[in-house]
Structure 1
Amino acid sequence: MNMVKKYIAFFILCTTIASYSCNVVQVKKKADNQKIYLDPNNLERLGDSVRFDLTVILPNAMLLRNETYALFPYFKYDNETYFFEKKLRVKGDTLDVYSSVKLTESYTMPFVNGMENGSLYAKGEVSNNQGVRQYETEEVLVSTGIITTASLSQIGQYRGQEQYPVLGLWIEPYQQETVGMLSKNNFKDLKDAFSSYSGIPFTAKAPFLKVLEGPGDWTYKLKKLKALPSFGKVQREVLNPFVQKAVRAPWDGEGISDLQLSILSRSIRKGQVPADTLSENDYIRAVDMEPGWNEKEEILRAMVEVYPSAFAFNNLGFVFANKANRTRNTKDKNQLLENALFAFNRSNAIFENPYAVYNLGIVFWLWEDKFSAYNSFYRAFTLTEFDEIKKVHQAALGAVSIFNGDYRLAVIHLNNAEKSPVNLFNQGLANVLSGDYYNATIQFENSAIQNMSNGFPFYGLAIIAARNGEETKLYENLKKAITRNQFLRDRAAADYEFAAYHNKEGFKEVIR
């Protein structure tokens, strides 16, 4: 009898093992039939990150009620692997055995250099209620490469041009829109003059003083002052005389000669004579006379010691920022940007102005901090009513909006910017990325007409041709682009905008 029981037990055990093995085989077979989709079809850099939706479709009756399926995505690049915390997960007891199941999840990963040539993979896993893994699918290649076209947006950074672009806003003295920038005829002087003015009651002065003490350049302050009672009287008797004095440049022949100025400024730079040997007007002339960045820096360093002003600190920061853009050594570049940051903050500490605030945005842009750059450019835009400066701010806002993936906002900003070759290229780039190839073509062609030596608009036209499958136009425009710019030649060889053509002889011949 005991022997019969043993046979029965052995039979049940064998049946269970066979049943389990059969189920595992079925799970494996069905799990291998999982379908994984990416939205958008290609990974794309937006700002400082890569964002995408991942979808997996599982066959019906793939899981038992006590089983769980999970999909693990990960990204491999340069011998590194980025693992996503979120998993696509579903339990068998929540499914209809007669229907397939569709799972979707949104993912974000920070973009770092080298990722553009990496690949997204995924692996599925089935486990029981105790979390014990029963089966793992094969590694699935979901997508290769990251499109970084938005990073082509420009605010004058050096990218293989014939000459280094000049970045930022330089303050010109003796202009009505820059009234108050110098240490003489500054807003403190105006406030002092207004405080002693007896043409209106003391209580009526408070709103005027509040505006003068607040942020913004002269055009910004003047707009606010115009809304105050008694403005007409104050303008005639206080403001106009101040402005006329502030914008009156030194007469020709006044002061020392150019030769004497050159000798004295050189002596000051060498520390041989005191910095206060020159007047503020002399320093302004001396800076204009020197073509070199190092010489300008030395003169402005001396100037801020004896004539600290929003003008001097902004222009000193401007020099630091442009020297940084010309420096390859990372440590030296960061130090120059730190110096620029300090100088612009000192300029704004005297009074917040649209020049130094904009230039802070340039520093953040060069530091790859596009969020802070946008905030600075937008703040600068609100601090002026001077149309020419506002156009510069609009152009910068458009460029950063492209990088951050807000292409429609970029187009709005760039529509209000100056129609320069760089801005027209940026506008075309925004149109391409938003799918408006017709207007993109127009902007790229207009950019090329203004500067035929610039390869970027032709590169944009090549991207449009690649997306439209126009192989002849692609090769024609790409050749024009890369013969004009080495940066674009190096980029094209690995640009995933041209991934479908990389192995074609025509493409290889163009970039060879």
Structure 2
Amino acid sequence: MNMVKNIIAFFVLSTTATCFSCNVVQVKKKADNQKIYLEPNALERLGDSVRFDLTVALPNASLLKNETYVLTPYFKYGNETYLFEKKLKVKGDTLDVYSGVKLKGHFSMPFKEGMEKGSLLAKGAILNNQAAVQEETEEIVVSTGIITTAALSQIGQYRNQEEYPVLGLWASPNEVETFGMLSENSYVDLSKIFTAYSGVPFTDKAPFLQAIEGPGDWTFKKNKMKAFAHYAQVERDVLKRFENENKPSQQGSENISDLQLSILSRSIRKGEVSADTLSEKDYIRALEMEPGWAEKEELLRAMVEVYPSAYSYNNLGVVFANRANRTLNKKEKNQLLENALFAFNRSNGIFENPFAAHNLGIVFWLWEDKFSAYASFYRANALTKSDKLTKIHQAALGAVSIFNGDYRLAVMHLNYAENNPVNLFNQGLANVLSGDYYNATLQFENSAIQNMGNGFPFYGLALIAARNGEETKLYENLKKAIVRNEYLRKRAANDFEFAAYHEKESFKEIIRQKIND
């Protein structure tokens, strides 16, 4: 009898051990059977973030009713790890054992410097009903690298072969768009003249004064006033006088030669001569004569002390923004951008104008706050009726739209922009990113023809060749790009658009090319 009991106990124990062993193997098999899909099939930076969808497919009968499957994604770059709060989960008691399971989730993370070389990883796990991990997979590499092609969109203009573009709207006096921006002949003066004007009934003056003192450049204000009663008379008696006072012939001091002006402006910059030695018109002439940003800054700092105006504050801000774009020191860059922000706000504080509004967008662009940049450029566009300025604002709106991933909107804006080398490059870039390689090729080629010293259109042609698998064209155009621009050489070496070619000796040889080799 005891022998029978021992045999039964042994049988039960053996069966339990065998089942436990099978369960461990089965649980591990369940976790390893996961299939993970990334949409789109490569990570891409859009604006200030990286957004993607993850789909996990599990075979039918993957989970028991008391089990839960969990997928945990995370992103590693350098020594940093970004952990997503969101996980993909499913409980076994919610599943049909005869059907496969698909879990899909949308994920987003802020883009930070260095992420372009990182990897998206994930781990799958099976939990029991006490939420304890029964088994988990090894670390799975879902995707490596982040494509940042949209970040190639540009604002500003290159002069010959210089590395950095000139950013922002510099207010040049004597153009119709800048009327009223100076300390002399300001809209305050025009408002006083119109208030004293007796040719219009007092009750009809209010809308004119609101337009004069309100936002917008002269083209905007004048267009608004055309709808008012007595406009023809006001234009003849008041507005024409204001326009004549802003004509080019009224600018500049004839009794100071260029040499004398150069000596005086240098003395002011050094603090050896009082800032009020020069007139406002003389400062304008001196600024046009000074080629360097440092010299312009010193003159404009002196000018805003004695002739504070929408003009002087705007142009001082432009200097700060361009200096910020040319420094690699982050602390110095942020301080210069803070200075630019202050100057543009002071310019707008005198009266809201499309120059300072546009240039606020440049500050946000350099801070990589592209959505605020778009809002500023959009506001600037609403403050003018000038075809010239509208084309500039539309070009900026197109560049920001590319960066933010809205390529169709970018093309719409850029169709209204001037066909200069930078705008043509941006049009090509928008077409590449939307898959229209034919039109992209035409735009890049036209951009290159207009400025053969700029490497960016050749880089764009290299992108198209890489996507089409045309290796010879890739090397030909990439070489032209990197011998013209050191930034593009460094970028190409790590650009995941060229990932399939990075280990090829022909590609490495191209990267080793020197500037203007």
Bucket of the pairwise TM-score, normalised by the shorter protein? over 0.9
**Residues 195 and 133 of structure 1: is their aligned pair in 2 closer, same or farther, counting only changes over 3 Å?**
same
Q: Distance in 1 between matches of 2:421 and 2:251?
A: 37
Which residue in the other structure is 2:76 paired with?
76
Q: Distance in 2 between matches of 1:332 and 1:67?
A: 55
How far the C-alpha of 1:117 sits from its partner, in A, is: 0.9
**Residues 173 and 462 of structure 1: is their aligned pair in 2 closer, same or farther, counting only changes over 3 Å?**
same
Which residue in the other structure is 1:196 paired with?
196
Instruction: Tell me the matched-pair count.
Output: 512
1:309 aligns to 2:306 (yes or no): no
Which residue in the other structure is 2:401 paired with?
401
After superposition, the CA RMSD in angstroms is 2.1
CA contact (8 A) 1:49 1:109 kept: yes
Q: Distance in 2 between matches of 1:284 and 1:310?
A: 13
Q: Distance in 1 between matches of 2:124 and 2:64?
A: 16
Task: Map 1:52-131; keep pairs closer than 5 Å.
Answer: 52-131=52-131
1:223 aligns to 2:234 (yes or no): no
Q: Distance in 2 between matches of 1:249 and 1:316?
A: 25
CA deviations over 1:383-412 (Å, ceiling 9, x no partner)? 111111111111111111111111111111
Q: Distance in 1 between matches of 2:505 and 2:266?
A: 59
Q: Distance in 2 between matches of 1:215 and 1:465?
A: 48
CA deviations over 1:136-159 (Å, ceiling 9, x no partner)? 112111111111111111113889
Q: Distance in 2 between matches of 1:265 and 1:464?
A: 50
Which deviates the most, 261-270 or 273-282? 261-270
Q: In structure 2, what residue type is equivalent to 1:165?
A: P
CA contact (8 A) 2:36 2:142 kept: yes
Q: Distance in 2 between matches of 1:453 and 1:50?
A: 33
Which residue in the other structure is 1:416 paired with?
416
How far the C-alpha of 1:17 sits from its partner, in A, is: 4.5
CA contact (8 A) 2:459 2:478 kept: yes
CA contact (8 A) 2:251 2:281 kept: no
Q: In structure 2, what residue type is equivalent to 1:162?
A: E
**Residues 16 and 163 of structure 1: is their aligned pair in 2 closer, same or farther, counting only changes over 3 Å?**
closer
Which residue in the other structure is 1:357 paired with?
357
Which residue in the other structure is 2:176 paired with?
176
Task: Map 1:266-277; keep pairs closer than 5 Å.
Answer: 266-277=266-277
Q: Distance in 2 between matches of 1:474 and 1:213?
A: 56
CA contact (8 A) 1:160 1:486 kept: no
Which residue in the other structure is 1:186 paired with?
186
Q: Distance in 1 between matches of 2:97 and 2:252?
A: 93
Q: In structure 2, what residue type is equivalent to 1:492?
A: A
How far the C-alpha of 1:432 sits from its partner, in A, is: 0.3
Q: Distance in 2 between matches of 1:203 and 1:438?
A: 60
Which residue in the other structure is 1:446 paired with?
446
**Residues 488 and 268 of structure 1: is their aligned pair in 2 closer, same or farther, counting only changes over 3 Å?**
closer
**Residues 134 and 374 of structure 1: is their aligned pair in 2 closer, same or farther, counting only changes over 3 Å?**
same
CA contact (8 A) 2:72 2:122 kept: yes
CA contact (8 A) 2:150 2:433 kept: yes
CA contact (8 A) 1:311 1:347 kept: yes
Which residue in the other structure is 1:485 paired with?
485
CA contact (8 A) 2:420 2:447 kept: yes
CA deviations over 1:224-266 (Å, ceiling 9, x no partner)? 1111122111111111111111225337763333333333323
Q: In structure 2, what residue type is equivalent to 1:311?
A: Y
Q: Distance in 2 between matches of 1:142 and 1:251?
A: 65
Q: Please, what TM-score do these two structures have when normalized by structure 2?
A: 0.94
Q: Distance in 2 between matches of 1:253 and 1:82?
A: 62
Which deviates the most, 60-69 or 461-470? 461-470
SS of aligned partner of 1:130: coil
Q: Distance in 1 between matches of 2:388 and 2:257?
A: 33
Q: In structure 1, what residue type is equivalent to 2:21?
A: S
Which deviates the most, 252-261 or 264-273? 252-261
Q: Please, what TM-score do these two structures have when normalized by structure 1?
A: 0.95
SS of aligned partner of 1:493: helix
Which residue in the other structure is 2:28 paired with?
28
Which deviates the most, 70-79 or 267-276? 267-276
Which residue in the other structure is 1:322 paired with?
322
Q: Distance in 2 between matches of 1:505 and 1:262?
A: 55
Q: Distance in 2 between matches of 1:449 and 1:153?
A: 19
Task: Map 1:251-400; keep pairs closer than 5 Å.
Answer: 254-400=254-400
How far the C-alpha of 1:275 sits from its partner, in A, is: 2.0
Q: In structure 2, what residue type is equivalent to 1:510?
A: I
SS of aligned partner of 2:348: helix
SS of aligned partner of 1:239: helix
CA deviations over 1:351-376 (Å, ceiling 9, x no partner)? 01011111111112112221221111
Q: In structure 2, what residue type is equivalent to 1:349?
A: G
Q: Distance in 2 between matches of 1:498 and 1:326?
A: 28
CA contact (8 A) 1:414 1:427 kept: yes
**Residues 251 and 471 of structure 1: is their aligned pair in 2 closer, same or farther, counting only changes over 3 Å?**
closer
CA contact (8 A) 1:36 1:55 kept: yes
Which deviates the most, 360-369 or 319-328? 319-328
Q: In structure 2, what residue type is equivalent to 1:408?
A: R
CA contact (8 A) 1:158 1:325 kept: no
How far the C-alpha of 1:460 sits from its partner, in A, is: 0.8
How far the C-alpha of 1:342 sits from its partner, in A, is: 1.1
CA contact (8 A) 1:73 1:84 kept: yes
Q: In structure 1, what residue type is equivalent to 2:239?
A: L
Q: What are the ranges of 5 or more consecutive residues in structure 1 without an aligned counterpart?
A: none
Q: Distance in 1 between matches of 2:319 and 2:355?
A: 13
CA contact (8 A) 2:53 2:106 kept: yes
Q: In structure 2, what residue type is equivalent to 1:346?
A: R
How far the C-alpha of 1:418 sits from its partner, in A, is: 0.8
Q: In structure 1, what residue type is equivalent to 2:457?
A: P
Q: Distance in 2 between matches of 1:14 and 1:236?
A: 109
Which residue in the other structure is 1:209 paired with?
209
Which residue in the other structure is 2:465 paired with?
465
CA contact (8 A) 1:190 1:242 kept: yes
Between the two proteins, what is the percent identity of the paired residues? 75
How far the C-alpha of 1:206 sits from its partner, in A, is: 1.0
CA contact (8 A) 2:160 2:451 kept: no
CA deviations over 1:134-188 (Å, ceiling 9, x no partner)? 1111211111111111111111388995354221111111222211011111111
CA contact (8 A) 2:160 2:453 kept: no
**Residues 3 and 186 of structure 1: is their aligned pair in 2 closer, same or farther, counting only changes over 3 Å?**
farther
**Residues 249 and 343 of structure 1: is their aligned pair in 2 closer, same or farther, counting only changes over 3 Å?**
farther
Q: Distance in 1 between matches of 2:406 and 2:439?
A: 17
How far the C-alpha of 1:498 sits from its partner, in A, is: 1.1
CA contact (8 A) 1:145 1:496 kept: yes
Q: In structure 1, what residue type is equivalent to 2:65?
A: R
